[in-house]
Amino acid sequence: MRPDQPKGLRDVVHNPNFAGVWTWSRGGGWEGPYITNELWCALNVYVIAKYAENPRRTEKDIFDEFATQQLGLKGDDVARFRELNLLSAAAVLRGQCSLIKPVDLWWARDDFMAAPDLSIFTTTNLMAAALAEKAEAVTMWKKIETLARQIHFADATTQDFVETSCAYGRIKYSIIEQAWTILLYGQAGDKSGHYDCARLSTAIARYDELWEEWRELKASHPSCATIYKDVAFQDKPGIGAAVEHYRTICDRERLHRTLGYNSGFLPARLMMQLE
C-alpha cells in the first residue's frame, strides 16, 4: 500500500463509516489449499470478534477462553496450545518470507510454489544466513508437531486434525528449506559457472523424499488439507522446473566424472543423452 493508504484498524477507526470489524479468516476460494476442518479459522474469528466486542480484553484472555470453552482444554494443555499457535506465526514468517532481506511474497501464493529470484542473498553473501533462517523455521515446526501430540483434545477428530495439520506444516516448510537450498546454490552456480553438486544433489534427494511424505500424509489422513503444487501461479514453471534444471546439471557433471572425459570428447550419442 502507498504511505497515505490505511493499513490497519487504527487508520480507519475514526471514519464515520466505521461500524465493526471484518476479517478474512480463510481462503480456499481460488486454487487451494482446501481445508477439511475450520478449527484455525474459528480460533481467529473468535479472538478478533471478542476483541471488537470489548477492546479492553487482552488477546491472551480471549485465546484462553476459546481454548477452555470451545476446545475443552485444561491446565498445561492451554499453555501448550498457545505456544503452538505463537510458534506457527514465527515459523511462517521465517520459512515462507524472511527477516533478512525482502522476498517476493507472491512466490508461494495459494497452493503454488514458484522459483523466487534469491540473487539478493548470493550477491550480498547472505546464503548461510538465509539457509539458517529456513532451518530455524523447520525447527519451530518440529516443536509445533511435538506440542500437537502432547496436547489432549476432547475428541479424536480434533486430535487427528491438529496433529495432521502440524505435520503438514513441518513437511511444507521442510520442502521450502530444501527448495531454497537448491535455488541459492543453483543460482550461485549460474553466476560463477561452478555448481556445488554435492550440496545440490543432497538437497534434491531430500526434496524428493519430502514430497513423497506429503503425498502419503494426504493419502493416509482424511483430515489433511490438499497439498501444494510445484508450479508457479497459473501453472507457470515453478520450483519443480528449477529443481529439474539443477538435477540435470548435476547428473551431467556426475556422468562426465564417471566417464573420465571432457564433454568435448564424449561420443555424440552420449552427448545427446546428456542434453
Residue whose cell numbers read 554435492? 198
User: Domain map of the chain by residue range?
Assistant: 30-274
Query: For the CA atoms of the chain, what is the radius of gyration?
Result: 23
pLDDT at position 269 is 52
Could you report how far apart the first and last alpha carbons of the chain are, in Å?
45
**0.85 surpassed by pTM:** yes
Q: Whole-angstrom Cα distance, residue 54 to residue 65?
A: 14
pLDDT at position 8 is 81
CA atoms within 13 A on the CB side of 176: 33
Do the beta carbons of residue 28 and residue 35 sit within 8 Å? yes
- 63-97 CB burial, b ≥16 within 10 A, e <16: bbebbeeebebeeebbebbbebbebbeebbebbbb
pLDDT at position 273 is 53
Sign of CA pseudo-dihedral 162, 165, 171, 174: negative
Q: 3-state class of 55 per DSSP? A: coil
Nearest-5° angle of CA 51, CA 54, CA 60?
45
Low-confidence ranges of the chain (pLDDT < 50): 263
Q: Whole-angstrom Cα distance, residue 98 to residue 171?
A: 18
pLDDT at position 111 is 92
